[in-house]
Amino acid sequence: MRTLLAVAAVALTTSLAHADEWAIDASHSRVGFSVPHLVVSEVQGVFHEVKGKIDIDEKDLAKSTVTLEITASSVDTGNADRDKHLKAPDFFDVAKYPSITFKSTKIGKITKNKFKVTGELKIRDVTKTVTLDVTASDPVQNPWGKSVRAVKVEGKVKRTDFGVNWNKSLDKGGVLVGEDVSLDVRFELTK
């Protein structure tokens, strides 16, 4: 039994030794989204506050892990009245559910720098498995001696899957707010 535990500890230590923790550079990152509005246009927005732990395995990026926490009240669509409504119980209900979270469960490599990242996304009190398209740049050195890389995340989620159901029907058909939310997330990571 001791031998088995020792082997497991060495294997875990070895696998973790390849992963480096990268920090999100908030001033060069954005968590963006867009949603259909009035059938004919879109509303775009961002969440200004995100933190997380991103461990990147340079030997095998598919072994990397991502854990993110977005402050729901940091939503910003450029319209104060709409943002107030988004923070209310009809949408994010930020008083009751202050955070939106994501934790990766699987990373599938498509090409050298393109991946399908599957994970658990939690909005309000609903957790769903989602798969997102991720492109990661090779690391570069910045003028201050830090390693930097860019990560682009794109995908779609259905807001109603997460209990974000508020809407109004339009007189000539359709609804005020579309169901599909397009994600456009850009991170600059440093270590």
* pLDDT tens digits in sequence order for the chain, 191 residues long: 444 334 444 444 444 456 899 999 999 999 999 998 887 889 999 999 999 999 999 888 789 999 999 999 999 999 999 999 999 999 999 999 999 999 999 999 999 899 999 999 999 999 999 999 999 999 999 999 999 999 999 999 999 999 999 888 887 777 889 999 999 999 999 99
Whether residue 14 is contained in a domain is answered as no
Number of CB atoms found within 10 A of residue 169's CB: 9
Tokens for 169, please give them.
Answer: 């029907």
Residue 10 falls inside a structural domain: no
Amino acid at 147: S
Do 25 and 189 meet the contact criterion of CB atoms below 8 Å apart? yes
Is 9 inside a domain boundary? Answer: no
Contact residues for 12 (Cβ-Cβ < 8 A; gap 6+): none
Q: Are 82 and 43 in contact (CB under 8 A)?
A: yes
Note whether residue 4 is domain-resident.
no
- In a domain? residue 66: yes
The number of distinct structural domains making up the chain is: 1
CATH for 71:
2.40.128.110
Does the residue 46 lie in any domain? Answer: yes
The parent domain of residue 104 ranges over 19-190
Q: Rounded to an integer, what distance in angstroms lies between the CA atom of residue 19 and that of residue 54?
A: 9
Domain contains 51 = yes
In a domain? residue 2 = no
